[in-house]
Amino acid sequence: MRPSRAAIEAEVRQIVCDALDRKPEQVALSSSLVDDLGAESIDFLDLVFRLETAFGIAIPQDQIWAGSHDLSRASGEEYERGLARLRAEMPDFRWDRFPDGVKRSDLPRLLTVRSIVDYLDRFFGGQEAASS
């Protein structure tokens, strides 16, 4: 059975709190895992493990961290269009952290709690469509 978006969001927020030792009031959907919550590379592995366990699924690591738009392989104009879409979809994100623009090396900093929720919502939506 497909979990509701609200259920996914609640579970993801709790997992992020537990994995990164944060209080619930510190974890907003727009929180950057890196900049706001202090996640490091080892934390990403822990988060994936916890998410897989909680939701009973296998998550390819390269997919969940791609976010709403996988910009890691995008080129020039495609990269800029992807960033523009992200800015429109994430108006509450702290874009001011990138006064010189978002470079490829900054992409992990764009990962938010919402990125995880969006991925899982799409994952379960795709499973529902495949089983219909």
The pLDDT of residue 23: 97
The pLDDT of residue 60: 83
- Residue owning tokens 């429109």: 88
Total count of domains within the chain: 1
| pLDDT above 70: percentage of residues in the chain | 89
Domain with 96 in it: what CATH number? 1.10.1200.10
Highest mean pLDDT pick, 94-98, 123-127, 128-132: 94-98
Whether 132 is covered by a domain: the verdict is no
Q: Express each pLDDT in 63-82 by its tens digit.
A: 776 655 678 778 889 999 98
Model pTM score: 0.84
Q: Which domain, by its residues, includes 30?
A: 5-127
* φ/ψ of residue 112, rounded to 5: -125, 175
Q: How far apart are CA 44 and CA 20, in angstroms?
A: 10
Tell me the mean pLDDT in the region 90-104.
Answer: 91
Q: How far apart are CA 1 and CA 69, in angstroms?
A: 26
Q: Express each pLDDT in 20-67 by its tens digit.
A: 999 999 999 999 999 999 999 899 999 999 999 999 999 886 777 665
